[in-house]
Amino acid sequence: MPDSVFLTLPQIAAAVSFVGLFFVLIAVAVIDWKTMLIPDRLLAAGAVCGALWIWVGNISLPDALFGALAGALPLLILDYLTKTFAGKPGFGFGDVKLMAMSGLFLGWTGVASAFFYAFIAGGIVGVVLLVSRRAERGSYIPFAPFLCGGVFLALLMRVRG
């Protein structure tokens, strides 16, 4: 039997990490949409998958750590500005932690792509909800489902290309 039929340990670990992240993203998106809460246990599981992703060499440790910072910092800044100027929170801390965890997989360039996809999709849905009167100006809309979609799309682009 040829050796190429068998997967190596790093290949198996990469697949487990990728599939693990996929399930974490689905769970986070569904739970946040229903409750506007993101369980820390899910994010911790995602971080373990991220550590595995780093270990198998799909991303360097410095790139992953910078990606985690690039994922968390913009949301922290936007939340601070929203609290300062609008008097109410703009993002939950779960969104911040979600993007920090996602940065372990994506690096800073992938995080930028994920944000782009998430803000476009979230903006479109927000406008549709406002126009259809299913939400009012100032209503809270869970953002993690859009972040999760953006992260998954950015990761697919990274793995593919």
How do residues 68-108 score in pLDDT, each as one tens digit? 999 999 999 999 999 999 888 888 899 999 999 999 999 99
Cβ 91 vs Cβ 143: under 8 Å: yes
CA distance 45 to 52: 11
Max alpha carbon distance in the chain (Å)?
Answer: 66
- pLDDT-flagged residues of the chain (< 50): 1
Helix (H, G, I), strand (E, B) or coil at 89: coil
Give how far the C-alpha of residue 60 lies from the chain's centroid of Cα atoms, to the nearest Å: 18
CA distance 128 to 131: 5
pLDDT at 3 (0 to 100): 59
Give how far the C-alpha of residue 71 lies from the chain's centroid of Cα atoms, to the nearest Å: 8
